Structure 1
Amino acid sequence: MNTTWRARLSQFLVVGVVVAGLAPAAGAAQSAEVNSAPPGVVPALQKWTGGTGRLVLSANSRVVVPAAAPAGLQQVAQQLAADVAEMTTLHPTVVTGTPAAGDISLRVDAAADFGAAKPELKPEAYRLAVGSTVEIVGGSDKGAYYGSRSLVQAVVSSSDHLSLPVGTAVDYPDYAVRGFMLDVGRRFFTPQYIQSTLRWMGWLKMNTLQIHLNDNGFASKYDNDYSKTPAAFRLKGTNPEFAGLAATDGSYSRTDWDGFESTAAKNAITIIPEIDAPAHSLAFIHFKPELGLNGGNSDHLDLSKPATTAFMKSLFAEFTPWFKGPTVHIGIDEYPSDKTAEYKAYVNTIAPYVRSLGKKVNAWGSFTQMSGGGAGYDKDMVINSWNNDWYSPKAAIADGYKVINSNDALLYVVPFAPYYHGQGLDGGWIFNSWAPNIFGGSNNLPAQDPNLLGGMPAVWNDQTWVDYTELQVHGLIEKSFAALAQKMWSPTAGGTDYSAFLLKVATVGQGPGTSYLPETVMLNRNPSDLAYGRPATASSSETSGLGAANAVDGLDVSRWASSYSDSQWLKVDLGSSKSFNSVRLNWQNAYGKDYDIQTSADGTTWTTVAQRRGLTASGLDTLTFPPATGRYVRMQGITRGTSFGYSLFSFEVISDDLARGRTATASSSETSGLGAANAVDGLDTTRWASSYSDSQWLKVDLGSSKTVKSVRLNWEGAYGKDYDIQTSADGTTWTTVAQRRSRTTAGVDTVTFPAATGRYVRIQGITRGTGYGYSLYSFEVRA
């Protein structure tokens, strides 16, 4: 489980226990409202029919499978129980028999009604019915597994972290291939990364991972010397015939690969291994220089030599037994087009040879560039249509092939490169404008064309000379991964509100077993950010999906983008006059070179409180200034940093309250719902209330020693008549820095004093103003 989830769980534990404790019984409805909104799962459900009330899971809830359930369904049940235990406070057991109230039952029924699911995709379809029990019926074990993903996500996204809305979902994919391709040939990715990615993909109902097992850098970056150019083949067997072939900077043993296959099977994923030849083959040429063109000074195999094809056959024969899935990818892209005859002979030899080993064959589409079309080539293959000029989807289909959308212009990421989406795909564009049938312009296919199997975005690690990590690559992928998963499952079921979709993504997270992968698509609400969730407007928006609200939604993957001119602005309404002393802007690539930060009491007359001049790069930019007040805050652009407009992932207005969001404790709390944290949460609607005696206190830990000059207390009706403000370095020895005596009313009380230092600040009650305790809506500490 991600550490992020551990942090989130702390928000839910108390609430979950209270709700479970109040529920009359497992399965009892808590309200009569119809659950018209479907559970917030990713990808979104195809069909939802809401009932009334909620089913609250409890410590007595079990996962139940029929007697004599097949091993595959039993595995799904065991994994469901483990994932519920990881993602919630519950620890259900797995049993066979008949479900009781509050139980989760799993079964498989290939003949069940799965609505509009295509017949060939019914094995991945499922029904999820919530009433007095939860029932998941899958078209196969895979369908049951996908139903279990929706179940866990629905529980995780519920406010109590324990319940589900009563109703019935019918869900199924629109496309058979919902894939992702990772180039490990040019850059080694650890087994831990592969395992975590498989779990993440299963969580999002993606079903195909293609692993590109060999490749090489660009010789032009290495003095055009192929002997110096890095190249790698990532499988390491024990056969002496291939000793020295596996990369020394990282490779996968048979044990590693078996682990990948096992995890993939448990998460309804097929692994497609790719051994790419006759181009991208420098690893093989380093191993056997005599097999390369130009005397080995090339990354292309010399197909005029029978030994070359014989070697490739021996390689497939050696490693194909490792592969549990039905398909092997043979590459065949980007070979010199003046060697068409040798190339065609190679394709027509290797494809049937791999099939003779018991596997289906996939390949990169290249036939237009190589031969003007697919005439004369082996037809029993599936084509990844990666480039419209090399072999467009329409050309491949006309030649008799089924295709997968891997279009380079739309779906390639080359990490940190100035081409092919070096900073990751734009998830908003994917969500609003892409679907598996979109290849660009006249190459688009009809939606759900019967010859279109689905989509497969790709990460290519071309830049072997650039220093970056696998986790940095993950950060680039995560920006769009959920949007891609949604569009490959159903291009329409996710709706059109990308911000709402991202909130669902942030809520469900990356799923169980993914703690190695840092989460970046998450609700990054800074407790000190006054702008979060407030109304925002702008001078312009490049498109309707890039509106001003994206800059204050707490998500650093949605963004506002202006039109392409200098004098553009973004404004946020804080709701009332607030005090703040900094702003934090997270610029997308289209950053502001020169801009002002301004405040206003009325949204019309503006005062500049900070200026930025000569910014040279995108990313985070924090401006700090003397405390300012205003209801409205805006970024007023002066000069753009690029030829585009201004584009902000986030615009935060940071309160100068040092206590906001910090750890607070108190001498007592009247009830568990009136705890000390309520006084520092930035909300004037929640409160701390003490027990009914005079000598009560509330203390906040500022995290480190700070210089403070005032506190602002917002008293509820149970106010303090006499109290002291104290500071401490260690939370034990206190110094009184201010006193308040004989206060007669509730409401706001600001206490100012000479500068004092301390890590801890507290209000020490002396005399209550009422017969109740002390009660504070807020306790603010200012420098």
Structure 2
Amino acid sequence: MQTVPAVQQWKDRDGRGPGVPGPWVPASRPRVVVAARDAPLLGELAALLSGELAGERARERAGEVARERAGEAGPAAPARFQAPAGPAQPGDIELRLEPLVDAGLTAGQLAEAYRLTAGPVLTITAPAVAGLYYGTRTLLQLLRSGTAPTGTITDWPAFEQRGVMVDVGRKYFSPEWLKRLIENMGWLKLNHLHLHLNDNVGVGLECTSHPEIVSEKHLSYGDLDGILAVAAAHHVTVVPEFDTPSHAAAILARRPELAITDRHGTVEKDKLNVANAAARTLAADVVLEWADRFPGPYFHLGGDEFFAAPWEPAGHQDPLRYPGLAAWARAETGNPGSTAVDGYTLYLNQLSALLRSAGKRARVWNDHVHPGARGVPLDPDVDVECWIRWNAGFPGASDFHRAGHRLVNRNGDHLYFVLSSDSVPPTTGRKSAEGVYELWRPRLFMGAAGGLLDDELDASVPVAGAVMSIWCDYPDALTEAEVADQTLDWFRSLSQQLWGSPKPCGTFAEFSTLFPAVGTAPR
């Protein structure tokens, strides 16, 4: 049986080779053992695995009780975590923090790599705790599918960032739903959860510096702390996003004086006037407050859809549309030729500098990043998340790379699960779990909006990873339970593509036959 994602290397998986011990046979009450020196770092993981093994045995016992009533074998005792008390014994599971000898991996790969070795004792070895955690996921999936671990598995990810985004600005997702999402992400070796915390509909997280902007139904900081604790246990980095200067209608409904005005005197009710010092102060307050609540290294500044798309009216695309923003840019730079785009970029650069002082790295959507154009360049330390290329006249992923930006693939033609008013997300085609498995690849960026000319980067261009997005354009189109059910297969396809191991099956239809045995994360 296979795991999801499949492992990179499995030697002597089908039986004994020279010098290779036979399959590991778990004891009736297997212990999870760690060395005394590793106990401070591994105690929590050992306890988690022990509890999960007990839960898995409880699942099995339900079937065993039925067989016992029919005259077959009775139930076995559950597993338990035991603090180290001497060497591991046959049937035990041992977790060891040690270098992987002769693995030939990069430093980034080693951060999440592991080796699982079968024998009298089942040993999982890794240089870091994250790798050991992923080794336990593989073990549990093998046990659940009825496969006795044999030989040696050596496993590592091809891409550092393997993520999911949830639009909690437009749709309230309960803390329990988000925690279960994180457990299933860890089960599939996905490691980044991006929370889109605000949009035109609302602001979905508590904010003490500006409580007036927060939606009535939102996640509290207490909710967030619980979510972050589950994320830490499952090695998921949570990335917050405060999306400005566009998508700000919910904020401006409470602070209308901060809206931008175009050259005709029309107030744009969804765009923040970042030429206004009070608007910049509000944004800085929220960014720094939220950055302090999230332990991860990243903060998303949004930045999408502020200027007009190519199909919007010509008047909207006029470079003089926002004269106040251009005037602020001229005052800031001293350059009489500065434009509104320069003002937009200055705003993002200022927030990026604030985040850097707080020990965070900023990232933005790629919409209005124009490498090589005259004027103010975006800080190259800002990660660019590539979801759209409006047409061939706009820069592509390789242009952002040449400008020094780290790339994250957010391909809007493949990785967007959208709650729409007129249809449910498809099950076939480009935007589907099938499409992610069969048509998309981690280096395949969008080539042009609505077209089929994808832009695939070669291996010489570093790509940090990819994130699929759950967008709630129409929040009531699906319940949160329906979202969980319909996105699970997407996660499975995404995990296989980003882990980068040899595909276990040629088609998604074949791949999906593995899902019932692998199931979802233990509770």
Question: Which TM class, normalised by the smaller chain length?
Answer: 0.7 to 0.9
Residue 283 of structure 1 deviates from its aligned partner by 2.0
Preserved CA contact (<8 Å) 1:124 1:140: yes
- Which residue matches 1:206? 190
- Give aligned pairs, total: 451
Preserved CA contact (<8 Å) 2:181 2:484: no
Residue 506 of structure 1 deviates from its aligned partner by 1.8
Q: Does 1:40 align with 2:50?
A: no
Match of residue 179, structure 2, among 195, 210, 218: 195
Distance 1:179 1:366 in 2: 20
Corresponding residue SS for 1:194: helix
Corresponding residue SS for 1:232: coil
CA offset digits 1:551-577 (Å, max 9, x no partner):
xxxxxxxxxxxxxxxxxxxxxxxxxxx
Residue 41 of structure 1 deviates from its aligned partner by 1.2
Preserved CA contact (<8 Å) 1:65 1:95: yes
Distance 2:166 2:102 in 1: 33
Match of residue 435, structure 1, among 402, 422, 441: 441
CA offset digits 1:159-216 (Å, max 9, x no partner):
xxxx623211000000001011111111111101100000000000000000000002
Distance 1:146 1:373 in 2: 46
Distance 1:511 1:318 in 2: 33
One-letter amino acid of the structure 2 residue matched with residue 381 of structure 1: V
Distance 2:381 2:271 in 1: 25
Note closer, same or farther for the CA distance 1:368–1:271 as it changes in structure 2 (3 Å cut): closer
One-letter amino acid of the structure 1 residue matched with residue 379 of structure 2: D
- Which residue matches 2:89? 100
One-letter amino acid of the structure 2 residue matched with residue 341 of structure 1: D
Q: Show the 5 A alignment for 1:681-760.
A: none
Corresponding residue SS for 1:272: strand
Which structure has more helix as a fraction of its residues?
2
- Which residue matches 2:272? 301
Note closer, same or farther for the CA distance 1:367–1:242 as it changes in structure 2 (3 Å cut): closer
Q: Which is worse superposed, 500-509 or 272-281?
A: 500-509
Preserved CA contact (<8 Å) 1:367 1:374: no
Corresponding residue SS for 1:452: coil
Corresponding residue SS for 1:333: coil
Q: Does 1:246 align with 2:214?
A: yes
Note closer, same or farther for the CA distance 1:388–1:491 as it changes in structure 2 (3 Å cut): farther
- Which residue matches 2:205? 235
Q: Show the 5 A alignment for 1:634-653.
A: none
Preserved CA contact (<8 Å) 1:292 1:301: yes
- Which residue matches 1:446? 458
Preserved CA contact (<8 Å) 1:388 1:407: no
Q: Does 1:323 align with 2:312?
A: no
Match of residue 27, structure 2, among 55, 58, 67: 58
Q: Does 1:413 align with 2:383?
A: no
- Higher Cα Rg, which structure: 1
Corresponding residue SS for 2:512: helix
- Which residue matches 2:363? 362
Corresponding residue SS for 2:413: helix
Q: Does 1:77 align with 2:46?
A: yes
Q: Does 1:146 align with 2:147?
A: no
Preserved CA contact (<8 Å) 2:442 2:465: yes
Which structure has more strand as a fraction of its residues?
1
State the percentage of identical aligned residues. 29
Q: Structure 1 length as normaliser, TM-score?
A: 0.55
One-letter amino acid of the structure 2 residue matched with residue 57 of structure 1: P
Distance 1:187 1:489 in 2: 30
One-letter amino acid of the structure 2 residue matched with residue 106 of structure 1: L
Q: Does 1:274 align with 2:241?
A: yes
Preserved CA contact (<8 Å) 1:182 1:459: yes
Residue 484 of structure 1 deviates from its aligned partner by 0.8
Residue 439 of structure 1 deviates from its aligned partner by 1.7
Residue 356 of structure 1 deviates from its aligned partner by 1.2
Corresponding residue SS for 2:166: strand
Preserved CA contact (<8 Å) 1:368 1:374: no
Residue 420 of structure 1 deviates from its aligned partner by 10
CA offset digits 1:31-69 (Å, max 9, x no partner):
xxxxxxxx5211101000123353331323100000132
Q: Show the 5 A alignment for 1:332-731.
A: 332-336=303-307, 338=319, 339-368=340-369, 376-389=377-390, 391-417=395-421, 421=425, 425-440=431-446, 441=453, 443-447=455-459, 449-464=460-475, 466-490=476-500, 492-513=502-523
One-letter amino acid of the structure 2 residue matched with residue 300 of structure 1: K
One-letter amino acid of the structure 2 residue matched with residue 46 of structure 1: Q
Which of 1 and 2 has higher RCO (CA within 8 Å, sep 6+)? 2
Corresponding residue SS for 2:378: coil
Query: Which runs of 5 or more residues in structure 1 are unaligned?
Result: 1-38, 217-230, 514-783
Preserved CA contact (<8 Å) 1:354 1:361: yes
Distance 1:292 1:120 in 2: 43
